[in-house]
Structure 1
Amino acid sequence: MSGNGARPETRISAWRPAVAGIAEVFHARFTDHAYPLHTHRTWDLMILDEGCVDFAVDRHRHGVTGADAVVLLPPGVPHDGRTVTPAGFRKRVLYLDDRVLPERLAGAAVGIPVHADVLLRRRLHQLHLALGSADGAFEAESRLAFVRERLLARLGAPVRTRTPGREAAPLAAALRELLDARLRGGVTLAEAGALLHAHPTHLIRCFRRAYGLPPHAYLTGRRVERARHLLLEGLRPAEVAAAVGFHDQAHLNRHFTRHVGVPPGRFAASSGARAIRWPGP
């Protein structure tokens, strides 16, 4: 926000994540920008965090306001966009290729570009949070799988969903073994699904049922657990971060502190003390 009561300045952030199916992530704050009529070769999946937007898709105008709506614009279909109020708007967008949604669904998407779907909105928010982390690719891929599942259902496409049954425990155990074996290098959800012959979302549901947490959370916890051992063996935090699979020391610090309650340096420095001498009763 600029000073003297002026309107918020334009701010953007764009990057290409290491997640198959996502061509670009785009976050923006606009106050007076108007998009001309244009098309994309990708799907445009937007959530609005602040403000109002007016746009046209295939010559029909639409408006979106509030925190529950999701906008899905299909590839190859002309659309524009503009602010509605002087305060502008803040949005987060994913540009998705046909590995997430096939182009044959574009016709179904034209007539319903705005989806009032609280669950889809929440899943997209969680996906954006994962995409903002340099070591969140596995989590982002997992969250994208559930976003895709929800979008397919919204567009009336067949969706492969199963309630975990007897196969849940052995599938979950096999995935846990795979994650333990790939602690440093990690594994993609697509690779895990191919190796274990299971659909990605079903694999995640089985793992959560068996162990009470999603695979990405398990992997982070195991990395922190391994980091504890290496720190007590005398390795420096920067060495530990690389050894257990975190992007860098800053990401080790963040996850380690969240799990252990203190940063890794302080944890390592405590190794000389055998016990805390608490005051007597």
Structure 2
Amino acid sequence: MVDRVHAWHPEVPAVREVYHASFEHAYPLHAHDVWTAMLVDEGAVAYGLDRSSHIAAPGAVTLLPPGVPHDGRSTVDGRIYRKRVVYFDPAWLPAEAVGRSVVHPTVRDPRATAAARRIHAALALPGDLLAAEHWTLALRGRILAHLGPSTVASRDTPLARRLRALIDDRFTESFTLSEIATAWGAHPSHLTRSFTRTYGIAPHQYVLSRRIDLARRLLVDGIRPSDAAAQAGFHDQAHLTRHFRRVLGTTPGAFGPSAGR
């Protein structure tokens, strides 16, 4: 049961969206196209990131890189957790930081945690967007220090990269893996195996993740659910609502501009 969901787009450079929630929803496997910095204020969240298990708990910043699949659930059945999330542009951190962040997603640096909290505090006060920008830069610096100079290359193959680029360009459209495989001279099963082995998420799950992210942003911008569904590539509003409930634990209406205020 959702207790509270509040999402909005602040006018802060590099920040895509801010999302506050309090619930016990279990997220299925999904991926974002942005960097995610999460604070857990109450409870704890168990999550898998690229086939490894982690715990997000108060006192640390959890960093989730773009394109890497993850899930999430309360560590205690029936207990809610409260979280505050900032979604940053893909270019907020260098691309080579993705591999390192997969291995070290928990940032226990107290200065990083303080900077993340100050971002949310500044966003709560009218006229403090410049302060919020300052703290996003401070958080970036602490995260880069946490990740260190060496990076771990993420698993990748040319075919999987090619399919992911196509999905990123066409995820709002209707297409089949069979037609792509035919055009590329490959078998659909090989495409699926290559993508899933490389990114840890099946192509159809990745498409759904991209569509949900886009629909959520459109809803926060004030687009009606029926229009957001169409623009994001869902068959209709009911299709959007069904997947919103499954993935986000709430309905599209919770993300309207006045929701949660």
TM-score, structure 1 as length reference: 0.51
Query: Considering only aligned residues, what root-mean-square deviation do their CA atoms show, in Å?
Result: 1.6
Assess if the C-alpha contact under 8 Å between 2:107 and 2:143 holds in 1: no
Hey, what's the Cα distance between the residues in 2 that align with 1:103 and 1:19? 21
Quote the residue 1:70 is aligned against. Answer: 61
- 5+ residue gaps in structure 1? 1-7, 159-281
Alpha-carbon distance, 1:69 to partner: 1.4
Q: What is the letter of the counterpart of residue 20 of structure 1?
A: P
Quote the residue 1:108 is aligned against. Answer: 100
Assess if the C-alpha contact under 8 Å between 1:46 and 1:94 holds in 2: yes
Assess if the C-alpha contact under 8 Å between 1:12 and 1:28 holds in 2: yes
Quote the residue 2:23 is aligned against. Answer: 30
Quote the residue 1:226 is aligned against. Answer: none
Alpha-carbon distance, 1:119 to partner: 1.4
Hey, what's the Cα distance between the residues in 2 that align with 1:130 and 1:99? 22
Hey, what's the Cα distance between the residues in 2 that align with 1:101 and 1:113? 13
Q: What is the letter of the counterpart of residue 86 of structure 2?
A: L
Hey, what's the Cα distance between the residues in 2 that align with 1:145 and 1:15? 20
Alpha-carbon distance, 1:83 to partner: 1.1
Quote the residue 2:119 is aligned against. Answer: 127
Q: What is the letter of the counterpart of residue 33 of structure 2?
A: R
CA-to-aligned-CA distance 1:177-222 (integer Å, 9 cap, x gap): xxxxxxxxxxxxxxxxxxxxxxxxxxxxxxxxxxxxxxxxxxxxxx
Report the structure number with the largest CA radius of gyration. Answer: 1
Structure 1 segment 179-190 matched on structure 2, within 5 A: none
Specify which of 22, 27, 34 is matched with residue 42 of structure 1.
34
Assess if the C-alpha contact under 8 Å between 1:19 and 1:141 holds in 2: yes
Hey, what's the Cα distance between the residues in 2 that align with 1:135 and 1:99? 26
CA-to-aligned-CA distance 1:85-122 (integer Å, 9 cap, x gap): 22210000011113421222101110011122211111
Quote the residue 2:5 is aligned against. Answer: 12
- The answer to whether the aligner puts 1:117 opposite 2:109 as a matched pair is yes
SS of 2:43 mapped into structure 1: strand
Hey, what's the Cα distance between the residues in 1 that align with 2:149 and 2:92? 12
Assess if the C-alpha contact under 8 Å between 2:109 and 2:146 holds in 1: no
Runs of 4+ more than 3 Å apart: none
Q: What is the letter of the counterpart of residue 74 of structure 2?
A: T
Q: What is the letter of the counterpart of residue 139 of structure 1?
A: A
SS of 1:103 mapped into structure 2: coil
Hey, what's the Cα distance between the residues in 1 that align with 2:115 and 2:84? 13
Q: Percent identity?
A: 42
Q: What is the letter of the counterpart of residue 46 of structure 1?
A: M
Alpha-carbon distance, 1:9 to partner: 4.7
Structure 1 segment 1-281 matched on structure 2, within 5 A: 9-31=2-24, 33-65=25-57, 67-85=58-76, 86-157=78-149
Alpha-carbon distance, 1:154 to partner: 1.0
Hey, what's the Cα distance between the residues in 2 that align with 1:56 and 1:137? 33
Decide whether aligned partners of structure 1 residues 28 and 55 sit closer, same or farther in structure 2, where only a CA change above 3 A counts: same
Structure number with the bigger relative contact order (C-alpha 8 A, sep ≥ 6) is 2
Aligned length: 149
TM-score, structure 2 as length reference: 0.54
Alpha-carbon distance, 1:157 to partner: 4.1
Hey, what's the Cα distance between the residues in 2 that align with 1:36 and 1:98? 22
- 5+ residue gaps in structure 2? 151-261
Hey, what's the Cα distance between the residues in 2 that align with 1:142 and 1:53? 28
Hey, what's the Cα distance between the residues in 2 that align with 1:129 and 1:150? 18
Q: What is the letter of the counterpart of residue 88 of structure 2?
A: L
CA-to-aligned-CA distance 1:2-52 (integer Å, 9 cap, x gap): xxxxxx852111001101101000000012x11110111101110110001
